[in-house]
Amino acid sequence: MANAIRALAMDAVEQAKSGHPGLPMGAADVATVLFTRFLKFDPADPAWPDRDRFVLSAGHGSMLVYALLHLLGYEAMTIEQIKRFRKLGSMTPGHPEHGHTPGVETTTGPLGQGLANAVGMAIAERHLAAEFGDIVDHHTFVLASDGDLMEGVSQEAIALAGHLKLSKLIVLFDDNGITIDGELSLADSVDQVKRFEAAGWTAVRIDGHDPDAIARAIEKAKSSTRPSLIACRTTIGFGAPTKAGTEKTHGSPLGADEIAGAREKLCWTAPAFEIPPDVRALWRAAGQRSAALHRAWNERLAALPTARRGEFERRIGAKVDDEKLTAAVRAVKGKLAAAPKEMATRAASEFALEALVPAIPDLIGGSADLTGSNNTKPKGMTVLSAADYGGRFIHYGVREHGMASAMNGMALHGGIIPYSGTFLVFSDYCRPAIRLAALMGQRVIHVMTHDSIGLGEDGPTHQPVEHLAALRAIPNLLVLRPCDAVETVECWQIAIEHATGPSLLALTRQNLPQLRHGLDATNRCAAGAYEVAAAEGEARVDAQVSLFASGSEVAIAMAARKLLTERGIRTRAVSVPCFELFLARPPAERQTIIGPAPVKVAVEAAVRQGWDAIIGSEGAFVGMSTFGSSAPYKDLYQHFGITAEAVAAAALGKLQEN
Ligand SMILES: Cc1ncc(C[n+]2csc(CCOP(=O)(O)OP(=O)(O)O)c2C)c(N)n1
């Protein structure tokens, strides 16, 4: 049965003239034991909520997953798809892509991510089990390579998993001692068993080509009270007569002669892409193994009280309770209308969360050791820990990358909308995971505070300058930068409703005035940009100047508008909380918001990149072009010239030019 995986992998890579045969051939025995004796899944329902999750963290070995899906009888994974490995529009892209191929639990390829996603999946499983009981009861298995375990994010992931005692997380390490450059020993001499043990895991070393040893180890791991590592010693490219055990099998086709030799060595006589009927029958039978478990699960679900079942189905179906969300947002807006608040948007975010967290049980919060600074833990939110998986706030520790990747895993698992916090400048530490959330279209919410030089004294190491532009460059990520408490709750609403991708809230440390007064039922931020203050004077006379700003600089734009208005210059101000939403509006609507004023000035305490889409290359920009500095924030705004006077002067200069 394992040889069927090996044959499909080497044939598909050969036909595609590219790909990675080594890992599938080496890990075929491990995967065969796991899928035919242990893994709980149903090819007829790849999204069965209580399936065991299998994550191929070493995504380059994608043919392992495609071969398994094909052999086990996942309908979509036909032999034609295997033959079209790595071709445009196929279901068999170079690296596994979640949402593209049924049965692929997460998109992998960037090493280390899958392992860290799996930690989030295992957290989600425990949390939902605490909430819903035995309808949530499954394992998370990972196949990880040397590369996965060398990546820094793996350290964050295994430390978190060990700390949280995620006993249903089992990592099968494809311990083949080979990477692209050659022997692993060129670059690494870590004892992985000791490393995992030190992080609170159980860990064993076995022969990854001995089915009984593999089965015994998995059996044992399943009864462990801690997460488990099974280091499976394997030979990369197992079966290839001259290349097995070398980097030559890692990432290129074996070649016709080597494949012929491998067929002989493995006693595999079937032609390319053909599976002997008896072998196929065994695999298909393995695919049916969990059918009875699935039926029993359906019955358990049906036996739940109606409201409970409905709630589980709502959660797992990722449908936010609109009524509760709308009511919570309205309540927050009502309070702000009644008693306007001058506050930092990070504090406004906590104010919003005090209403949102009780209303939306899907939300699981957290912070990478900046809880008090990020304001992500509203009063009454209990901590999720090994002693209480039912808690809703995760202390991720100083592990931004592991946190962001685990959040992806929670969202992928389903039933949870993860949000968490760090400083905006450390979005760089999360970026690979944010990018994958965007690629996979997963709803995760990053609360990133201390969003500019406005954080003051901590200085340029902590002051984001290029981060907003860099984040806005990621497709399918909403970067939301609210200007006051009202916009903050509106941005939260957008992020929670945005089911098809991640959102990031960039929030201030410093206090800001409330600019929106009265009770506004509509979510004005949803347009991405809107006029916060029209030009004074007759409405039919066009403004001379349009000022654009996001976040903390909207108040500066408003002050500049006042200065210009006092000089008789008709000036309007536009708040731009979200580029992506604004640029997605129809052109006519965009034009209306941008307006016909001949002078356009944007102000943002960050680099200009990106703003030309709104103000044009002729527009004036007031912001940063260097790193910041360490000083009280008001001094910094003066020093870097991000002031109402500077904005007004820029507008006047442009008016004169015209
Ligand atoms: C973050 C990241 N860096 C680099 C790569 C490129 N890459 C793909 S596989 C690999 C290492 C291969 O070694 P190993 O993980 O042991 O896989 P094996 O050779 O056993 O298939 C590298 C560096 C990657 N996919 N992700």
Total count of residues recorded for the chain: 658
Q: Is the CB of 455 under 6 A from ligand 1?
A: no
Alpha carbon distances (Å) from 434 to 86, 146, 420, 503: 25, 23, 12, 9
CA of 21 relative to ligand 1 center, distance in Å: 13
Task: Classify residue 258 by its DSSP letter.
Answer: H
Q: Which atom of ligand 1 is nearest to the CA of 22?
A: 21
Per residue in 253-302, pLDDT (tens digit) is: 999 999 999 999 999 999 999 999 999 999 999 999 999 999 999 999 99
147/18 Cα distance (integer angstroms) = 20
Q: Is the CB of 437 under 6 A from ligand 1?
A: no
By most ligand atoms within 8 Å of CB, the mutation choice from 60, 62, 113, 153 for ligand 1 is 60
Per residue in 496-517, pLDDT (tens digit) is: 999 999 999 999 999 999 999 9
Instruction: Determine what percent of the chain is predicted with pLDDT higher than 90.
Output: 99
Residue 540 above 80 pLDDT?
no
The pLDDT assigned to 541 comes to 83
- Catalytic: which of 400, 487, 490, 604? 400
Per residue in 56-89, pLDDT (tens digit) is: 999 999 999 999 999 999 999 999 999 999 999 9
Number of C-beta neighbours around residue 321 at 10 A? 16
By most ligand atoms within 8 Å of CB, the mutation choice from 149, 238, 250, 436 for ligand 1 is 250
153/72 Cα distance (integer angstroms) = 32
CA of 180 relative to ligand 1 center, distance in Å: 7
41/543 Cα distance (integer angstroms) = 63
Residue 473 corresponds to which amino acid? Answer: A
Q: Is the CB of 179 under 6 A from ligand 1?
A: yes
Q: Is the CB of 250 under 6 A from ligand 1?
A: yes
646/623 Cα distance (integer angstroms) = 10
Per residue in 548-596, pLDDT (tens digit) is: 999 999 999 999 999 999 999 999 999 999 999 999 999 999 999 999 9
Q: Which of 186, 469, 526 is nearest to 326 (CA)?
A: 526
Nearest-CA residue for atom 13 of ligand 1: 179
**pLDDT tier at 539 (50, 70, 90 boundaries)?**
confident
**Using alpha carbons only, how large is the chain's radius of gyration in Å?**
28
CA of 151 relative to ligand 1 center, distance in Å: 10
- Of 480-494, 527-541, 618-632, 637-651, which gets the smallest average pLDDT? 527-541
21/235 Cα distance (integer angstroms) = 12
Handedness of CA 165, 170, 176, 182 (dihedral sign): negative
CA of 283 relative to ligand 1 center, distance in Å: 29
Q: Which atom of ligand 1 is nearest to the CA of 151?
A: 1
488/506 Cα distance (integer angstroms) = 10
To the nearest 5 percent, what fractions of the chain are helix, strand and coil?
45, 15, 40
Q: Which atom of ligand 1 is nearest to the CA of 180?
A: 12
Q: Is the CB of 154 under 6 A from ligand 1?
A: no
- Strand segments, DSSP code E, in 391-522 are 393-395, 417-423, 445-449, 478-480, 503-506, 511-512
By most ligand atoms within 8 Å of CB, the mutation choice from 57, 176, 179, 436 for ligand 1 is 179
Q: Is the CB of 22 under 6 A from ligand 1?
A: yes
Nearest-CA residue for atom 15 of ligand 1: 147
571 - beta bridge partners?
545
Per residue in 313-325, pLDDT (tens digit) is: 999 999 999 999 9
Per residue in 172-186, pLDDT (tens digit) is: 999 999 999 999 999
Active site residue 531: no
Q: Which of 528, 368, 362, 383 is nearest to 449 (CA)?
A: 368
Residue 187 above 90 pLDDT?
yes
The pLDDT assigned to 410 comes to 98
Number of H helices, E strands in the chain: 26, 20
Are the beta carbons of 605 and 646 closer than 8 angstroms?
Answer: no
Please compute the mean of the pLDDT values over residues 478-495 and round it to a whole number: 98
Are the beta carbons of 607 and 465 closer than 8 angstroms?
Answer: yes
95/636 Cα distance (integer angstroms) = 46
Long-range contacts of 651-654 (CB under 8 A, 24+ apart): 651/545, 651/547, 651/560, 651/564, 651/569, 651/571, 651/599, 651/601, 651/620, 652/564, 652/567, 652/569, 653/620, 654/545, 654/598, 654/599, 654/601, 654/620
Q: Is the CB of 146 under 6 A from ligand 1?
A: yes
Which H or E run contains 53?
strand 53-56
Residue 421 above 90 pLDDT?
yes
Tokens 């949102």: give the residue: 356
Q: Bin 211: left if φ > 0, else alpha if -120 < ψ < 50, else beta.
A: alpha
Q: Is the CB of 180 under 6 A from ligand 1?
A: yes
| Mean confidence (pLDDT) of the chain | 98
Which H or E run contains 533?
strand 530-533
CA of 57 relative to ligand 1 center, distance in Å: 10
246/527 Cα distance (integer angstroms) = 55
The pLDDT assigned to 197 comes to 98
The pLDDT assigned to 164 comes to 98
Residue 658 above 90 pLDDT?
no
Q: Which of 407, 372, 504, 436 is nearest to 99 (CA)?
A: 436
Q: Is the CB of 176 under 6 A from ligand 1?
A: yes
CA of 111 relative to ligand 1 center, distance in Å: 6
Alpha carbon distances (Å) from 322 to 68, 210, 357, 482: 39, 53, 14, 22
CA of 219 relative to ligand 1 center, distance in Å: 29
The pLDDT assigned to 616 comes to 97
DSSP letter string over 593-608?
Answer: HH-S-SEEEEE-SS--
